[in-house]
Amino acid sequence: MSAPQATNHTHAPTALLVLGDGTVLKGRGLGAEGKAVGEVCFNTSMTGYQEIMTDPSYAGQIINFTFPHIGNVGANVEDIETVTPAARGCVLATDITEPSSWRALQSFDEWLRRYNLPAIAGIDTRRLTRRIRDGGAPNGVIVHRKDGKFDIPALIAEAKAWPGLEGMDLAKDVSCRQTYHWDENLWALGRGYGKAADPRFKVVAIDYGAKRNILRCLTAAGCDVTVVPATATTDDVLRHKPDGVFLANGPGDPAATGEYAVPVIKDLMKRDIPIFGICLGHQMLALALGGKTEKMARGHRGANHPVKDLTTGKVEITSQNHGFCVVRESLPASVKVTHESLFDGCVEGLEVEGKPVFSVQYHPEASPGPMDSHYLFHRFVEKMEKRK
């Protein structure tokens, strides 16, 4: 009987993931040639990689996907959350296969090249996830070169020198530059995205990095949505005569964005306008109420996070993407914690006693993820209806 053949390890790597602590992970380059530096985080979602890569909340981050079959359904022009992807690159366990979906217009590899995003495959992504879980999200550089020539000491120095997300205001980078109207509805099989029909409430969405599907959910709930930049003033918001104000998701350190966002939110709360915040919007609201936020060791990113609604006792499976959280002990007595994570107990929702103001840390629009929390958009509408 012939001896088993040894695995061929002679092929030089065409991509590296270099971490700030000097760790060098070698693999195969995918997507665009080039390099990108950012915080390396992991996402546990099994689907929706296109939505994840285009979620503005991932600005400044390199995504390590724990699910091994990323790219298997290809890419299209519909499953995006913003026009320009916010993530800086991605890490995969296996090579991207040919698309297996009737909706695919191109391969995920081609999509990455189109948007100049480098990727690396052949990495033990579960092991990297354990490293992030135990040691926190590291700074890293992802680099793809077909010639396999890398200056590793320079790459380590670049990863070490990157300042990290703490103290960084990224909302300005991903926010819209000017006000616009949104009327696109939720997607349906055979129709695609629809248009708003007979909206009942005017909503101004402050764009700290808004995902499109959040805006679609607002439209589907009966809202006429106007989107304003993150730096919009109180007058910019009020001149649209809104029935309610939505505080969008977004990237970066909430305290840094809060420098200009918090005074506006405080002004709006004085007028008893219904306010609904998601993700960074939730954190902005907490800061406006006198609370504090802090950087998490590893963050919450994925579509399988259990959250308990403390008002009903129900448990929702939620989609999440955040690296900062609200410090529970910093919240004033007038603020009620309504939801908490069953993973680590962090604050996942709050409301203000006596005011039509509430927020959640997670993503009820579910893009990607479960739809357990769609009711929150209708709760927002109910508050506007009651005030009107």
Q: Which long-range contacts (CB under 8 A, 24 or more apart) does 153-156 make?
A: 155/16, 155/18, 155/24, 155/35, 156/18, 156/20, 156/22, 156/24
Place of tokens 């970066």: 252
Q: What are phi and psi of 204, to 5 degrees?
A: -100, 120
Instruction: Give the separation between CA 268 and CA 287, rounded to whole angstroms.
Output: 14
Conformation bin of residue 325: beta by default, left when phi > 0, alpha when psi is -120 to 50: beta
Catalytic residue selected from 223, 279, 325, 346: 279
**Residue ranges of E strands in the chain:** 15-19, 24-31, 34-43, 61-65, 89-91, 118-121, 139-144, 180-182, 184-188, 192-195, 201-207, 223-229, 244-247, 275-278, 293-309, 315-326, 335-341, 347-352, 357-360
Is 322 noted as a catalytic residue in this protein? Answer: no
Q: Give me the half-sphere count of Cα atoms (radius 13 Å) on the Cβ side of residue 261.
A: 35
Other Cβ atoms closer than 10 A to 142: 31
Is 279 noted as a catalytic residue in this protein? Answer: yes
- Measured CA to CA in angstroms, residue 84 lies from 77, 109, 205 at distances of 12, 16, 19
Is 294 noted as a catalytic residue in this protein? Answer: no
The sign of the torsion formed by the CA atoms of 257, 262, 265, 269 equals positive
**Catalytic residue IDs:** 279, 363, 365
